[in-house]
Structure 1
């Protein structure tokens, strides 16, 4: 049923009535239209890439890793993430986040980060912002020539959102001005104990940023090593086989 088909609120999400003295009252309709709109707004705000918007933790596949070491790493990482989410309230109070890293592209770290983001939005009702590190750099630069946009407001927004996911952290060149902006974001979140989740192609020890940044990340994240194996080749092969089998069945 569409929200507009609700016979009670007719899609408004609210029910109003008057008492005997003419005073008006209102409450959210039991059809859940308001809650759905809030969720849609949060998902839109999160800006999770279209390829990852529907991903869930329960559909994260372990069988796509073929190497024994990869399977061990991903099992350990998943166990740590489950512990993190099971104890999320304590993690939130302490401002603890996650740092997912692997030197291999296609290892599943971005998929995992997006799945966690979706979980936090849909289950915990958290406000989440998902952004690639280069996207953040480009958004900062875009404010310089736009009178209607303020760099300071952008940095404040990134520093204060309830959960910030920074994808591919470290792929940007660590120029002085970039380092200063990331320090502003990360230090603001560090001071206010806000959850930050990073994915990176580098371990924290290999990051080219100075200690002001890396030490804060080290203190406020659990560093989880993802497999040094790309799962895209296997998935592509499975897709190819499915196509062939499908064609045979016609």
Structure 2
């Protein structure tokens, strides 16, 4: 009888441990999803602030965008670390079909962090440009203003090279992460997420090509063509 009770106790402990593992795995998976979704929402908020900044000369909108981008980077980075390192999730990842989806989540989080950092680098320069534009808001630039504006713009342009390199590095990293994922066997929501990623990368690449033309970007912000 004692032996039977002993075996029963062991079985009960094992069952309890399995139930705890399942509950924790669900919690860990939910946390990863929440962090990814939070990062997505921060990117949406950053985009909204950038759009508002285009209609305003107040650099505060761009500073708000920078705050959202930094939070997005943290959210995506946290999600990626948990998806990659959490022992319960890695155990589930060993099941047929689950590993590919979990790896895709890890790469998705990395892409989100890369894109957020690229946005931060671009916004840092945009804040300086918006400050320059604010200095001349409410009046048309005269020929006498142009040498002063050009001198100030050249000061901003010194930061442009480092910013451009940082953006290029992050976009290359995002593309490298994307290349690691084949979406054929992914679950529906992940496929949809990667469709959105592909569209975002195309837009980012196009914007980056234009961003590299510092004189054109400054001309667009100031509303006047700067001399060559």
Could you tell me the TM-score, scaled by structure 1's length? Answer: 0.24
Structure with the bigger RCO (C-alpha within 8 Å, sep 6+) is 1
Structure number with bigger Rg? 2
Question: TM-score with structure 2 length normalisation?
Answer: 0.25
Higher strand share: 1
